[in-house]
Amino acid sequence: MAVTSASANPIRDDAKIPLAVCLGIAAASGAAHLGINYTPFLVGGLIDRYGFGPAQMGVFATAETLSFACAMFLFAPRAQGFRPRRMALAASALIAAVQAVSGLTGFLPLLIAGRVATGFGYGMLNTAVNVAAGRTSQPARAISVGISLQVLLFAVMNVTIPMIGAAGGVGAMFIALAMISGTLALGMLPLSDKTESGSRGAQGAAPIVPPMAPGGWPVLAAMALFAFGTMAIWPFMERAAHAIGLPATEFGRYQSLGTLLSSAGNFALTMVLARGNRRGLLEVALLTCGITCAVLTTVGSHWVFAAALVLYDVSWYITYPLLLGLAYAHDPHGRLAVRTTGTWLVAQSGGSLAAGFVAQATSGYGVVGCLGMGTCAMAVVIVIRFQAGKRAQTMRAPLPAH
């Protein structure tokens, strides 16, 4: 998102971030990602309760992520003028109300309209997170703390949400998500309720930012292929588990383990990157994620499925920040990174929609998983060529004069 950078923030770089603000950012960040993380459980519950087909559920999942992406693109140019607390609370109220209503109906057009509304709300929340973090002295650290706490919340929810669904059906899951959104809203109260005027340079003039260098399209293409393929299966992951006799509650436990190990994987990733040793890491993570997509949709063993699910989670959360790292390497001002994030959501929307129709036409999810493996292999080729071009460009650059 286009938010105030740390360097433009009036707060001193060495100032500590208040714990209450970190908790507020964590609450908003967790609430902003409830939709993407718990769509598989809702899709499974809706299919079991109302008999919807995969194509219909593909539209259901796509509506939310596409609305999420549109909201982010809409709010990005105006981010500095927003009040994070007010925005987050308004979004939480919208999401909680729509989730509660969705739990009372099985009418598909109304359910899809509800996903459009919740997706817009999640986009509002994500904007509030970025704006609030950007106004601290250390935005990256503030978001990192938020993600760490968010992972702990999701690890618990991955176990409890399917248990709620087993006891009360899909309606109970909708109501539970509404209550969680409302509860998290209370944690957002410490967020700032002030606007931020445009940042100015020392002489009162707007800072000069050079135009973005051409040639960043391979990063967007790699993200599009990665997100389209690996996230196509995501809304139907619980259904793939169901197809081999794995209950939703057991799937939730495996997903909880994957979530926790993803957090550990990201911690290890930061240590690797700190030493500057990243060569080949992105390519391996991409291939691993693609292969696990195929395994998850073609195996019949519960243990193999569980291992593949954990590997899928860990490799996905390693690949995503490394792809963003390529974007920042090409454009340090973050403009390409913003477009890369938007590309992820749009590609995920397309993947979910395509997966629903493919699964319905083939009466299974095997083709969808193999599609993910194929698109990841294509992304690897693009990444290798892009990085080789960047290395060649660096070698051709003239040495600095002394």
SS3 for the chain is CCCCCHHHCCCCCCCCCCHHHHHHHHHHHHHHCHHHHHHHHHHHHHHHHHCCCHHHHHHHHHHHHHHHHHHHHHHHHHHHHCCHHHHHHHHHHHHHHHHHHHCCCCCHHHHHHHHHHHHHHHHHHHHHHHHHHHCCCCHHHHHHHHHHHHHHHHHHHHHHHHHHHHHHHHHHHHHHHHHHHHHHHHHCCCCCCCCCCCCCCCCCCCCCCCCCCCCCHHHHHHHHHHHHHHHHCHHHHHHHHHHCCCCHHHHHHHHHHHHHHHHHHHHHHHHHHHCCCCCCHHHHHHHHHHHHHHHHCCCCCHHHHHHHHHHHHHHHHHHHHHHHHHHHHHCCCCHHHHHHHHHHHHHHHHHHHHHHHHHHHHCCCHHHHHHHHHHHHHHHHHHHHHHHHHHHHHHHCCCCCC
Within-domain flag for 27? yes
Query: What is the pLDDT at residue 49?
Result: 95
| Same domain as 275, residue 184 | no
| Same domain as 174, residue 35 | yes
| Same domain as 156, residue 120 | yes
| Token reading at 397 | 């650059």
| Same domain as 241, residue 133 | no
Within-domain flag for 399? no
Within-domain flag for 207? no
Within-domain flag for 9? no
Q: Are 378 and 225 in contact (CB under 8 A)?
A: yes
Query: What is the pLDDT at residue 88?
Result: 95
| Same domain as 144, residue 231 | no
Within-domain flag for 200? no
| Same domain as 274, residue 136 | no
| Same domain as 282, residue 241 | yes
Within-domain flag for 395? no
pLDDT tens per residue across span 213-256: 677 889 999 999 999 999 999 999 999 999 999 999 999 999 99
| Token reading at 178 | 């509404």
Residue 222: domain span: 215-389
CA distances for 163 relative to 53, 95, 305, angstroms:
23, 22, 20
Query: What is the pLDDT at residue 254?
Result: 94
| Same domain as 315, residue 267 | yes
Query: What is the pLDDT at residue 161?
Result: 95
Which of 162, 195, 228 lies at the terminal end of a domain, its last residue?
Answer: 195
Question: What single-letter amino acid sits at 377?
Answer: A
Residues of the chain with pLDDT under 70: 1-16, 77, 79-80, 137-141, 143-144, 196-213, 266, 270, 273-278, 333-335, 338, 394-402
| Same domain as 371, residue 313 | yes
| Same domain as 247, residue 191 | no
| Same domain as 228, residue 131 | no
Within-domain flag for 206? no
Q: How many domains does the chain have?
A: 2
Within-domain flag for 1? no
Report the CATH number at residue 241: 1.20.1250.20
| Same domain as 244, residue 189 | no
